[in-house]
Amino acid sequence: MTHYSNPVLDADWPDPDAVRVGDDYWLIASSFNRAPGLPVLHSRDLVSWRHVANALPALPPAGHYTLPRHGSGVWAPSLRHHDGLFWIVYPDPDHGIFVLTAADPRGPWSEPWCLLPGQGLIDPCPLWDDDGRAYLVHGWAKSRAGVKNRLTVVEVDPGLRRAVGPARTVVDGDELPGFRTLEGPKLYQRDGWYWIFAPAGGVATGYQVAFRARSVWGPYEHRVVLAQGDTPVNGPHQGAWVDTPDSDDWFLHFQDRDVFGRVVHLQPMRWDDDGWPMLGDAGSPVLTHPTPVPGAEPGEPVRSDDFASPGLAPRWHWQANPVEGWAVADGGGTLHLPAQPTPRGNLRDQGAVLSQQLPGQPSTWETRVGLAGEAPGTRAGVVVLGREYAWAGLVRTPGGIEVTVRRGGTYGDEEVLAQEPVPAGATGVVLRTAVDAEGRVTWAWRDDALPGHDDAEWHEPAPPWQSVVGHWIGAEVGLFASAPLGADLRPGDGGTFGPMHVTVAGKDA
């Protein structure tokens, strides 16, 4: 009998929702300001996942997201299959609740449309009732709406185009002892009951609750069905109830791991004699368990990239809506990022940072970095990006090209941690970014441009740097090329990156 260990997705896949259609499981997650957004993952066994698509090429309104809007964008979405289509309903807390559809989750997806405009509407989930009517449950963000800790249901038309009735608060967390920050609701039906699964108590400290009622409008009774107990799994936060073709039940949820983001756990699920769900091991998260499909081999999405296929793989995203020309990926084994003018020189301001999530286990990222351009201040490298960031790479100075390590924050100039000359005649270096189990980052480089330098010595120019969590997300690893505003840039100026080889916990990833 094969077993899996939690988390089954040990990286930042926030606010997961999932459905099964036939023998296939599909999972989506929040993407916030990142574009393309709404990542779509596929599995046949719930423990081995592939990142196959992104449903949202750019965030609406397009003009608003030409700049990085850290913490905004796509919050907790829901995924459903109805009437032959896959439906994603997602909130943008500053603009409203949006919908998009596809016949195949791999795409193409429709252009999103706004179902409910407004600020502070979050965490929506639709339900098509047996009588043909449709409902939407959602929560509230106090930062925008002034209220939180309540769940609201509104009747909508079956095409999810408009509300057709008044919204009603069906659960007020302020009336429930000990409840705070009730959010992330998912709406289901089973055995004549309407069910709302929702977390309360905060992202890093809360618990999972099940509500049930005979009417979608309530009154709802509730039980806490999953809590940390004496396990190391803090949270455990919102997620998805799915079943197998053999009618076994499972629950996917996330755990907040700070700099590593919101990682995804899989819990067994059964029903007690009173018809209430029982998650995990008597309400506590399991750390290991037999796989849902015997013989299944747990596996994470691929992170390495040989850049041998034209275009960017789904694993990559930008920090804002992308502009044509930000990347040249012709499939020849290298990636070119033209240098982008950056007014303050701060990488948190730069949308053209091509990123992936930071894995939840020690990881090493290795790539060759080259720099073209004569304008002083032109630079290219690898950044670990959160509310603060640090990067290592190449910078053009009046005296030539140098290897540098720098760090920056939300405000102020970057601090130079190290700067060393590139060996004469070299046009690039091999750069290694190593992240340990605590999120500490160590950069190293070696010359790989001259004949006979395959075994050149690695240099560690700066002491380890502690990575920092992002705004509602974990830290990210990114590639970039930039230059000072007003620099005399010419076609071809920027950074060139060779194949990216990633290992996680010592294994190819």
pLDDT in tens, 359-386: 999 999 999 999 999 999 999 999 999 9
In the annotation, is 447 catalytic? Answer: no
CATH number for the region 3-290 comes to 2.115.10.20
Catalytic residue, from 45, 92, 123, 183: name it: 183
Mean pLDDT by 10 residues, the chain (509 residues): 96 98 98 98 98 98 96 98 98 98 98 98 97 96 96 98 98 95 97 97 95 98 97 94 96 97 98 96 97 94 97 98 96 96 92 98 97 95 98 94 94 91 83 98 83 69 96 97 92 95 95
CATH class (in words) of the domain with range 335-508? mainly beta
Over residues 80-105, the pLDDT tens digits come to 999 999 999 999 999 999 999 999 99
> Catalytic annotation on 454?
no
Q: Which long-range contacts (CB under 8 A, 24 or more apart) does 196-201 make?
A: 196/137, 196/151, 196/170, 196/171, 196/220, 197/225, 197/238, 197/239, 197/241, 197/251, 198/139, 198/151, 198/171, 198/238, 199/235, 199/236, 199/237, 199/238, 199/253, 200/149, 200/173
Q: Sketch the domain layout of the chain as residue ranges.
A: 3-290, 335-508
Q: What pLDDT was estimated at residue 411?
A: 82
What's residue 449's pLDDT? 53
Strand spans (E) along 363-425: 363-372, 379-385, 389-397, 400-408, 415-421
- Record the pTM: 0.96
Other residues' Cβ atoms within 10 Å of the Cβ of residue 326: 19
Active-site annotation holder among 10, 15, 300, 493: 15
